[in-house]
Structure 1
Amino acid sequence: MTASGFLSGGGEMGALIRVHDWGSSPLGQAETWPQSLRSALSICLNSSFPMAIYWGPELRLLYNDAWMPIPEERHPWALGRPAAEVWADIWEVLEPQFARVLQSGEGFSTYDQMLPLLRGGIRRETYWNYSFTPIRGEDGTVAGILNQGNETTARVLAERRGRFLLDLSDRLRSLSDPRAVIETAQAALGEHLGANRVGYGEVEETRRFFTTERNWTDGSVPTREGTHDLASFGPEILAALRAGIPLLIPDVERDPRTNSPESLAAFDAIDTRAVITASLVKASGLKAALYVHSRAARPWTEHDAELVAEVADRTWAAVERARAEERLRDLNETLERRVAERTAELAETDRRFRGLFDSALQFMALLTRDGTVIEVNRTALEWSRITADDIVGLPFWLAAPMRGNPALQNAIRDAARRAAAGETVREEHEMRGHGETRAIVDFSLKPVFSADGEATWLVAEGRDITELKHAQDALRQAQKLEAVGQLTGGVAHDFNNLLTIIRSSADLLRRSDLPDDRRRRYVEAVAETVDRAAKLTGQLLAFARRQALRPEVFDVAERMRDIADMLGTVAGARIRIVAEIACTECHVEADVSQFETALVNMAANARDAMDGEGTLTVQVERRRRAAGEFVAISLGDTGHGIPPDKLPQIFEPFFTTKEVGKGTGLGLSQVYGFAKQSGGDVVVESPPGQGATFTLLLPRAQRQETVEPPAPPAAETDPRDGGDGRRVLVVEDNLQVGEISTQILRDMGYETVWATDAQAALAFLSDQHRFDVVFSDVVMPGMSGIELGEEIRRRHPGLPVVLTSGYSDVLAEEGSHGFDLIHKPYAAAELSRILRRLTRRDPSA
């Protein structure tokens, strides 16, 4: 197997491993790696769980995408490097663990292992769950180690802090002497934070640093670190100092070797809380100051600052309680009752919160900024059939609904990142419930902001909308059926009118005593009615975007000038046309005939809106939209406008506000269908009482130099001439159409053979029959006319094929594939012209 084979896929790390210079590494080129390493690495790279491989005597490091966040700034530097070099800061912990697996050949796992990692140049106390699994090489010895795991720092520190605060509260609650409260709190806090010394300052000692006798006239204040300018203190601290209030002072040895700027900033963050605590100490009458003196064994973090503030708050609460017991023992029962009431209120508040949280119909979860789950409501747990232990403490994207779906997990991870940045994310995803149940979930992630505008928590919510989606689909289907019913009724109405004319004319033409002039009139009426039916069919196909268009590149401005007179004729003499056509390089690629038909329909609509009198403004310009550059053709009228409630319906088939018999309601539908089939759009603007403006938007095309084809020969006045015995293979599955087609061709002098399907036609062609041309319908059962034409091209090169169709979605979507095409209904003269051109025996004729 090549390197590209076993390293295929694998996300970002797979790509990094593929391009890494392994030739200069003891591992050698990837193509030479042993099969055991290849197999293990393939599993690693395609896993969504954090995995790494340490290989060879030096335990060279390889890892997957999910493991990338673990080394943080060491990525991608760590790729291919020895474990002792990558983890130099914690090697004293990892080395014996690696050695144990290598020597014993047995796996090793550990939980909440403390690793003092260097992160951002600072040694951090981190905790991990991880395992080492031996990977045996081809000779059966341990050649490498598979590592899996995840960080548990947040949970461990949270649990430790909770246990410390709970224990401290219990200890402080048992003390009745305020001095003992402060000393106990200081000692516990110093021990927990790893401070070298904590102490309790008497008032005399305090006054040596914070004197109440000073007038503060020289603008400075003495502290343990010397005299500081008053401007360096905040207003709250200054007010406390002037009032002679002892303060909680973080007295840090500012040694750059042991205290980073981050740790000093953490101390500075304590001062504001310290003022509040000291103020309460003053108000209680206790003449003492609480302070911490520390040469920290590790940098202080913002968590330490928060903990100090929390301890100060709890210490003051204990002091207040002790002083209250000392001074007001007779009110002890009252105070206890108040505490009990307050505790009950908090319990009730928590109960209400849990009640609301668990009774919510939507799935809810509370996450940390990094996406770790800390709370899940009962609805979510019951839907997934899991317990809180299965999800709390894990990244949200690894929860049960996302299992086995890496794409969904990545989407949820990205949503958490965006929410942590302050964005409210709302998306629809397919998720898994219990078992193999699939559901469409309306999912959202919202940030919870702190007072300073930072996102501190994330709230995940979800709602199973599967049934709603099904209901919406059913509604859309019902609306489609309603639209089909409306379309069918309109088509039936118009075609019945046309068929009435044809049927009546045919009945009268059967009369033997009918005068020649009336016979001609009825024949012309039938021909005109057929043309009207063909036009109606064309409008239907254009609306349905199923008409086989003949697109060509043309200049819209030039074409508009050519058809200005036609628009004037459509509008009528009492409508003034104002043309503003200054557009240059306004070329589009579209069907010219359908383009002109669309303009005529728009002009006719404007004329009717103005009751035949007013101003029609025609504009052509270039417009840029999100989808690209378009040519905009606008027709604006001065009519009464379109009511707002009618605007959504104007492009519906057979919708019209005209009187019965004044219009089919397909004009604007044709415009809409032509625009969409040409890759464009049509929009309408109609401010109340200010007329309406319809704008046809067509994609702008590059100008093409074209050579005008020679004009086709004029059709003979009598289509019965010209067959000259040429043989035509007619392929038509409709019996009536086949009979009339062969009869027309015979009347024009052609010899015909009729096949009712493509297989029969191919049989005629392979049976030594000689034909000059094949005339085939497009839509037939089995093989279509286009497929038949392609097969004839392969088997009988040079044999012309003419296609005919009244409708074909294949033609609409793919074109005629290079075959000549005549649309149904066709005139005998048009069919004769095409057949004569294709069957000329003298090419120069």
Structure 2
Amino acid sequence: MVAAWGREGILVYNQGYAEVCGPRHPRALGGQLLEIWPEARAFNAHVIESGLAGRPLSFHAQELEHWRLGRPEKVWMDLEYTPILDEGGTPMGVLGSVIDITARVLGERRMAASESRLRFLDRLAQATADARDADAVLSTTTRLVAEHLGLSNCAYADMDPDGDGFTIRGNWHAPDAPSILGHYSLAAFGRLAVGELNAGRPLVINDNLAEIALHEAKTFQDIGIAATICMPLVKDGRLAALMAIHHAQPHHWTEEELGLIREVTERCWAHIERVGAEARLRESETRFRAMADDAPVMTWMTDASGACIYLNRRWYEFTGQTEAEGLGLGWLDAAHPDDRERSEQVFLTANAGREPFRLEYRLRRKDGAYRWALDAASPRTGAHGEHLGYFGSVIDIDERREAEARLRTLTNVVPAFVWFASPDGRLHFLNDRWCAYTGLTLEQSLPDGWTDAVHPDDRARTAAIWSDARERGVTYEIEVRYRRHDGAYRWYVARAEPLRDPGGVITTWFGTSTDIHDRKGVEERLRELNETLESRVAERTSELLTAEEALRQSQKMEAVGQLTGGVAHDFNNLLTIIRSSVDFLRRPELPEARKARYLDAVSDTVDRAAKLTGQLLAFARRQTLAPQVFNIGEKLRAVADLLDTVTGARIQVVAEIPDSLCFVRADLSQFDTALVNMAVNARDAMDGEGALTLRLTCGGALPPIRDHAGSTQPFAAIALIDTGTGIAPEMLERIFEPFFTTKEVGRGTGLGLSQVFGFAKQSGGDIAVSSVVGEGTTFTLYLPQVAAEALDREEAVEATVSPVGMGQRVLVVEDNVEVGTFATQILEDLGYETTWAATAEEALDRLGSEGADFDVVFSDVVMPGMGGLALAREMRRRMPHIPVLLASGYSHVLAQDDQHGFKLVHKPYSAEQLGRLLRQVASRRPERSERYT
């Protein structure tokens, strides 16, 4: 309530009117009405004038513009004004009743607008309901939107892939507005348009000349647009399309208009998507029906309830049914009366469980004849996993059934289980013998139920072997126990072979299972018999092995006896020459020429004896080798001529030796002996007639031989290839054993190849053998290859050194009295001063800590206590300035390692050899002054 007094309209009001005043309260209390509400001056002046004239006023839903919140706003009020009279009845003011009904009016207007919007959307939906393409939907939509809002333009556009260009391909415009079809650049419409639309927000411009830059507004103005709402369509994060409403004049867009165009755009795009999906679905259905009708089999489809909604053309052609007769469950009418109930039950049960199924039944052909058919189907599932129904096919298998009947008749004659399986291992055929034996029906046995009849202990093994055979496509075979109908188990052997198409692809497996129970019983009894038999055989074998070992030892001793006898005979011959020569040399009247001849004979005989002992040590692999570097090709050419003499005239020796240089480091004497031994073996294997090839290959690796690892270092390979009788495979592993021989008794001791083997191993190499019985044998000797720069030059130096001493002091270490006496005499005769120690320990005492002024030590290797090599090493540690010369007829240590680092003279040695080596060794001793600097 409010009262306005007098012509000034002095205000007095209650709390309700204070709320209408808003921020003008309390200033309005006592204020003048026309000044407090200047925006309604004319209206309020009329109220004061009427009240003072005694006229009441009444207004309903009066629209006024108020500035209560600092900005103009429309309000609606119910107003009642009554004159205020004094005691005399004269009007003194106006009493007003003010009720603000703005919220109610706005609500009513929003409701009306909503009803109008809904009516429009309903009309739009009806107008586009039958549209079947996007352009039709958009054309209708743009026209109706522009007409409904009374606008000049409504358009839609597609964005270019570059995200800037767009093409307006649909535009409804008022008769007085221009068409805006064409291609445009989004950037030309300003930064606001680019930013808002790419962000997925609508572009809203009420007056482009007032709200955006003039050069940007010009793009709108050039096509007759002053106000715009443009709605973006963003797909997968990219601006894809636009829909816009335009007005040729500035226009303040209301929330209702913005909401309407937003909803229309969303509905329009959704409708377009739906129309596109429906078009694609119709196209897919058309293709499906075309393919299904042209399929070589009958096909069908059901909905989720199980009702058939599609049967292809071949079904109708085969059964003679019409579409009205076959759909739903009418297809069952074409099944044989005896099969209908079973077929319906199988189908409905599968549909309830949403499981695939296979069904065989007789199907009536349109001529009234029944033929067997196979009906198979799998469930259809929607995008969200919902059950949509089934899709299945029906195949005429009448001829196959007849063939199976014939096959069953034939397989029932076979005294075994006969079965067929698909490539995945699932059985699809078993003959009647299986059912009779196991008591299982075919329905229970196929495709996988047959495993129930397998013994529990055999199931895992059976499954593994069956799976492995299928994966590798090989024969399947297993011994397995099957349960008989009475619960007993019998042994069977199951075999299967894969059957393949012309391309080699497995199409099926054919198998049989044959009863072997009686045979297994016999085998078990035989096994038990064998167990006792084996114990008796083991006893007999042990006795036989003992006897064979005794015989082998006897044969070895016989070979040793043969070797010893031969060695004794050779040594006796040599000693005879020495003894006779000595006897003649003792005669004083013997002429000097005769003396020289007998002395030469003694010297030559000693050399032959030394060579014989060297060969014996090589047989035992204890030879102290004297390795040297030589060109093996040159050496082999010289040996090839010698082999002609060794092998005889009827054996042709062929040398295949490259011209390139090839150097090895080995003992020349033992190398010659090894080649001769291999050549003699080849000669004996060829019985004196054939061909022997001597072949040299250089630079190759050493292959693995007899389980020994090979080497990638370069080796020289010397192969002797014969055309003899060959060696049996069981003999190859033993031919290098000492005393083992494949020759007849009396033709060999078994030491020749043992010498070759020992020489090869001591030289850092190996020997390989390969043989084919009846064709020949190849022995290949491998020796490490060395560089040409490794050639020993000391031999040439040694030949120029004089054997005569120059008074050097020599400490002789020798445990044998005769040899020690002889050695000191030789050295003194050659000009050396000698001191003799009988043991290495005594020698160390004589040497002291500094060597006691001895110039050189000459020591035997094999002695009681500390040996010569140990003495030499101790001297190297304590007094490295004193050189050492070692002497040995045999040393196990030196035979194992020729790289001991000390000079060695072999027994027996000559005075000249000893003097020359001792002079050479002594020359390496530094002068005394050098030792103390």
Shorter-chain TM band: 0.3 to 0.5
Report the structure, 1 or 2, having the larger strand content: 2
Q: TM-score, normalised by structure 2?
A: 0.41
Q: TM-score, normalised by structure 1?
A: 0.45
Structure with the greater alpha carbon radius of gyration:
2
Structure with the larger RCO, 1 or 2 (CA within 8 Å, 6+ apart): 1
